[in-house]
Amino acid sequence: MRDGRRLRAVLPGGSSTPFVLEKDLDTPMDEESLNAVGSRLGTGTVIVLDDQTCPVGMLANLERFYAQESCGWCTPCWQGLQWVQLLLADIEEGRGTLEDLQLIEWHAQMIKPENTFCDLAPGAMEPLASGFKYFRDDFLSHIEEKRCPWVGTSAKWSRGGR
């Protein structure tokens, strides 16, 4: 980690895997061990979330990427991911509501491999579902404050990436 920053969580298998928290950082990088802490190996590309980065903005950025990558073959992917990324953008930009959170959570539960033709959309839901689990207070702060609480810090996650 850079000086002055603390680890908050990692996506141990790339952008389509659930978060692993700091307390589980000593977990071996194998499928069985990561499954035991609620994640998976995926591509083996580790993405780090530090304590100075907005997790809502990070997840909004990931979902925007997946929405753009959809081939459009199945409705959960081409419509569901588009809707999720728009709802997350509203939350990140201070226009979100508690109903938006419920809709996103519903999508995260419904967009599963058995409901899609490929694993793109279900993979997009993995970090989002775990993000709700671990960073729910951050989502609620965005809604209650009607803005991203990270604005004005070096941690704001922008539309164009970091």
* Distance of alpha carbon 59 from alpha carbon 131, whole angstroms: 8
Residue whose pair of structure tokens reads 């071996």 in the numeric block: 28
pLDDT-derived band at 154 (thresholds 50, 70, 90) equals: very low
Give the angle 45-63-38 at the CA atoms, nearest 5°: 50
For residue 8, the SS3 value is strand
Domains present along the chain, CATH in parentheses: 1-52 (3.10.20.600), 54-157 (1.20.1440.230)
Widest CA span in the chain: 45
93 burial (CB, 10 Å; 0-12 / 13-18 / 19+) is middle
For 71-122, write each residue's pLDDT tens digit: 989 998 989 999 999 999 999 999 999 999 999 999 999 999 999 999 999 9
Predicted TM-score (pTM) of this structure:
0.88
Q: Contact 5/52 with Cβ under 8 angstroms?
A: yes
